[in-house]
C-alpha cells in the first residue's frame, strides 16, 4: 500500500502504510491484522481509521485531549478511552506528517468549563481587579469578613488538623495562614495574580 495525501473540502485525508499492535494493562502486546491507517482532519478533530485490504477495521476520533506520544523514531502510541495502540510507520516522513496533524490539533484552544461560561473580558477584569494590592488590603482590613473566616476555620480545626490544604485563589494568603493556625500539615496557596511573586 502506498502512503498518500488527498485534500478534502474540510481538511486533508492521509493514508499511511503501518503495522499496529494493541497494548493492554498487563504489559501485553497483541499484533493486529491492520495494514493501513488513514487520518482525516475535520475542523477541530481528527478521525483515525485502521483498515485491512481496503476494509475499515476500527475508527476513532482524536481531539486535543487524546493522549499520544512518540515511541522511538518510527512508532507512535495513542490511547483512547478503553484501548491503547502502538502504530509503527514505514518511514520517518510519515511519522512527522502524523505529528504535524496532531500538533495543529493541539493548537485548538483547550476550553475549560470556566472559559466556556465566562467572557474573556469579564475574566480579565475580575483578575485585574483582585490583582491590585490595594484591593487585597481592603479585604484584609475588613475586620468582620476576616475574623469570620478565621473563626470558621479555627472553630473547625478538626477538619484541618494534620491535613493537606489547597487554597485556590489564595489572594493575600490569609486563609492559608488560618489553615496553618488550625493545624494543617501542609498548605499550598495558589494565586494567578501577577503580584503573587511579591508575597
Query: Which has the closest alpha carbon to 66: 50, 87, 82, 89?
Result: 82
pLDDT tens digits for 3-60? 444 343 455 657 778 888 898 877 788 888 888 888 887 766 788 888 888 788 888 8
What would the pLDDT profile of 71-99 be if each residue is shown by its tens digit? 888 888 888 888 898 888 888 888 888 77
Half-sphere exposure of 92 (CA within 13 A, CB side): 2
Q: Which pLDDT value is given to residue 79?
A: 87
Digit-coded pLDDT (tens) for 132-151: 888 888 999 999 999 999 99
H helices of 58-141, where?
92-107, 113-117, 120-131, 133-141
Instruction: Return phi, psi of residue 145, to 5°.
Output: -60, -50
Which residues, listed in sequence order, are joined to residue 56 by a DSSP beta bridge?
A: 51
Residue 66 has φ and ψ, to the nearest 5°, of -70, 130
Percent of the chain with pLDDT over 90: 23
9/42 Cα distance (integer angstroms): 9
pTM as predicted: 0.49
CB atoms < 10 A from the CB of 45, how many?
15
Give me 103's grid cell. 500538533
Distance CA 40, CA 90 (A): 19
pLDDT tens digits, 147-177: 999 999 999 999 999 999 999 988 889 999 9
Amino acid at each position: 500500500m502506498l502512503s498518500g495525501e488527498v485534500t478534502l473540502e474540510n481538511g486533508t485525508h492521509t493514508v499511511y502504510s503501518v503495522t499496529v499492535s494493541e497494548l493492554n494493562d498487563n504489559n501485553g502486546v497483541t499484533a493486529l491484522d491492520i495494514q493501513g491507517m488513514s487520518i482525516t482532519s475535520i475542523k477541530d478533530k481528527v478521525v483515525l481509521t485502521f483498515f485491512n485490504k481496503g476494509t475499515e477495521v476500527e475508527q476513532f476520533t482524536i481531539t486535543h485531549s487524546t493522549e499520544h506520544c512518540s515511541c522511538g523514531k518510527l512508532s507512535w502510541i495513542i490511547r483512547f478511552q478503553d484501548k491503547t495502540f502502538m502504530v509503527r510507520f514505514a518511514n520517518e516522513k510519515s511519522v512527522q506528517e502524523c505529528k504535524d496533524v496532531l500538533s495543529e490539533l493541539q493548537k485548538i484552544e483547550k476550553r475549560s468549563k470556566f472559559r466556556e461560561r465566562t467572557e474573556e473580558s469579564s475574566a480579565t477584569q475580575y483578575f485585574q481587579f483582585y490583582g491590585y494590592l490595594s484591593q487585597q488590603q481592603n479585604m484584609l482590613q475588613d475586620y468582620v469578613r476576616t475574623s469570620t473566616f478565621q473563626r470558621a476555620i479555627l472553630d473547625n480545626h478538626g477538619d484541618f488538623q494534620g491535613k493537606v490544604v489547597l487554597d485556590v485563589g489564595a489572594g493575600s494568603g490569609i486563609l492559608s495562614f488560618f489553615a496553618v493556625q488550625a493545624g494543617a500539615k501542609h498548605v499550598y496557596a495558589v494565586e494567578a495574580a501577577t503580584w503573587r511573586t511579591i508575597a
